[in-house]
């Protein structure tokens, strides 16, 4: 598994960790094959990165130090603060 920027996602990639909204509500589950509409929606929601399965390193499990929800909320808050400075 590896963490990949949403900008680099391609249709057919398979999610290795579920994606949740900032409030913890599930958006996409583990094992979902990404479709173009899913990728576009992730971009619209300002989700920065997701975990996908990687056949080159199939046995690697990534332990998050920070919950994904916390990471996404922090990124969105920084983005909002920076937008307000313009």
Determine how β-strand 2-5 pairs with β-strand 49-52: antiparallel
Pick one of 3.40.1710.10, 3.30.300.160, 1.25.40.20, 3.90.105.10 as the CATH number of 2-84: 3.90.105.10
**Residue-level pLDDT at 58:** 62
Q: Where in the chain are the domains?
A: 2-84
Distance CA 32, CA 29 (A): 6
Regions of the chain where pLDDT drops below 70: 22-24, 57-62, 64, 85-86
Q: CB-based contacts of 36: which residues, under 8 Å, 6+ apart?
A: 11
Quote the distance between the C-alpha of residue 73 and its chain's center.
Answer: 12
């Amino acid at each position: 598994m590896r963490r990949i920027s949403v900008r680099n996602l391609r249709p057919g990639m398979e999610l290795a960790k579920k994606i949740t909204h900032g409030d913890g509500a599930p958006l996409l589950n583990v094992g979902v094959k990404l479709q173009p509409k899913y990728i576009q929606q992730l971009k619209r929601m300002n989700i920065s990165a997701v975990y996908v399965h990687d056949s080159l390193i199939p046995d690697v499990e990534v332990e998050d130090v920070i919950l994904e929800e916390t990471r996404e909320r922090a990124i969105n808050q920084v983005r909002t603060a920076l937008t307000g400075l313009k």
